[in-house]
Amino acid sequence: MNLLKQVNSEWIGVTLDFGNSMALLEDPMEVVETLSPYVFSTHVKDMAVEEYPDGFLLSEVPMGKGILDLPKMVDLCRKHNPSGTFSLEMITRDPLEIPCVTNAYWETMGSVPGSDLARMLRTVRQHKYPGGLPRVAKLSNDEKLALEEENIVACLNYSKDKLGMK
């Protein structure tokens, strides 16, 4: 972010992903609050989490079904760049494993404060996804395709109905 402040150019900005930072133990709302002044485009998604022995599982879910405050995130981005681009990122897949309580994870994440880990694990424990996170590995290709279409349509409807996107 310091680099963005130093460059201070109308031609240099960010593509802001609403959920990926969770894998780095970052609070997604803090990320949006910090980077929205520099936003050019976004990857809009909603995220759900589930605890597992080595940390937590992270999954994209249909908008409005996860833990992100999408209306606030979108409003912040619009405030700073009314002409910014909003792109849907809805990946229908098995959850990603974020092994944040393993030594291997911390070999590359050593500078992250323990308080970030504690906050993320609290978030995971407080936001259980009803019925467990979606898993698709055992579905047939046709079933995966149908679920993908269902998820995308749900996201498009949510973005139109709740986020004022057309």
Model confidence over 77-110: pLDDT tens digits? 999 999 999 999 999 999 999 999 999 999 988 7
- Residue 27's pLDDT band, with cuts at 50, 70 and 90, is very high
Q: Which residue range(s) make up the domain with 50?
A: 2-102+110-161
Rounded CA gap, 159 and 163, in Å? 5
Residue 115 lies in a domain: yes
| The total number of structural domains that make up the chain | 1
Residue 27 lies in a domain: yes
Q: What is the mean pLDDT of residues 29-45?
A: 96
Rounded CA gap, 130 and 112, in Å? 30
Beta-carbon count within 10 A of 138 CB: 8
Q: What is the mean pLDDT of residues 99-125?
A: 94
Rounded CA gap, 67 and 125, in Å? 12
- Quick one: pLDDT at residue 3? 67
Residue 166 lies in a domain: no
